[in-house]
Amino acid sequence: MSSETDGSVSALGSFERYLSLWVGLCIVAGVILGAGLPGLFSRIASLEYASVNLVVAVFIWVMIYPMMVNVDFASIRDVGRKPKGLCITLVVNWLIKPFTMAALGIVFFEFVFAGLVDPQTAREYIAGMILLGVAPCTAMVFVWSQLVHGDANYTLVQVSVNDLIMVFAFAPLAALLLGVTDIIVPWETLLLSVVLYVVIPLAAGYATRRTLDRAGNHQRVADFTARIKPFSIMGLLATVVLLFGFQAQTILDKPLVIVLIAIPLLIQSYGIFAVAYGWAWLWRVPFSTAAPAALIGTSNFFELAVAVAISLFGLNSGAALATVVGVLVEVPVMLSLVAFANRTRGHFVTVDPAIPVSRGTGKAIATAHPDP
């Protein structure tokens, strides 16, 4: 691994390394602005088309597009070289996480917290949690991978395959699980949200990458993404301010609700990470693949979840609030898991046992950078 990759944490800069702090400050700013300027946020909330808020859409596109430029679909041909990490990510994302999230939502809001929340609102909270569980992470994946010195090319493979599956699987799986909770699902809105927040930015990123990389000069892609990367963080922070501004009065009136929603989300996040990370360790997956696989499996595409929740249930709904709490929980949790992964990297192999032995050396070909 190059020295550039070795210095990836420092390359992220102080701003991104303290992302949890900035998100926290934006949450506070959003609540203050939302409570102090309710008329402004009501006007912004009214700017929508087909149940999709246009201002939120712009901020989410600004956030997602720079990350989508990093997605290299040509890298999918390398899947067969190291399939274990991809297998872990896909099984966790599509066969485990959506169902455990739905189960936790039902257990907590239909039983454990039944006396604290009315049934209709409880169903909306469950719906928001399901939308989080069905939306695997895309935008922030590259940040988590960099922070653990992950294999950047393999992360691209995981993101590319996940995005392809999400285009076809998100709406049916969300509809299935939301149907279990007796909530009527407008398929048109779900499909529109997938097109707006996955297909379009993915296609734009692909077209940009093809244009920049036409002459085979990969440095042009790297330079371009470096220049537009700040816009991604700005889009994230602006989205947080806006979403918490919309929910400001609810948060101030019902702070206990935030805690209630956060509890199952925290259990889900740490539980899923334990499953994926433990599986990778047992399967002797190299750390540079294992850590990103577990982090990708744990984190959520909360931008899409928030957008669909708003589209389906409205800006002031319990479902939208649940997905916004997902934003509140996500960054601090993921940063704590990054720290845990970096502390435990010594327990993982640094070469893939499945890679053939290099002739003349009697040693396996390294697939990960040696532990620093």
pLDDT in tens, 286-318: 999 999 999 988 998 876 788 788 778 887 788
Q: Give the up-direction half-sphere exposure of residue 155: CA atoms within 13 A in the CB hemisphere.
A: 27
Judged by average pLDDT, the poorest of 167-181, 283-297, 354-368 is 354-368
Q: Which fold has domain 3-364?
A: Na+/H+ antiporter like fold (1.20.1530)
Do the Cβ atoms of 154 and 347 come closer than 8 Å? Answer: no
pTM over 0.75: yes
- Say yes or no to pLDDT of 370 above 80: no
State the Cα–Cα distance between residues 333 and 38, nearest whole angstrom: 30
Task: Output the pLDDT for position 358.
Answer: 41
Model confidence at 347, in pLDDT bands (50, 70, 90)? very high
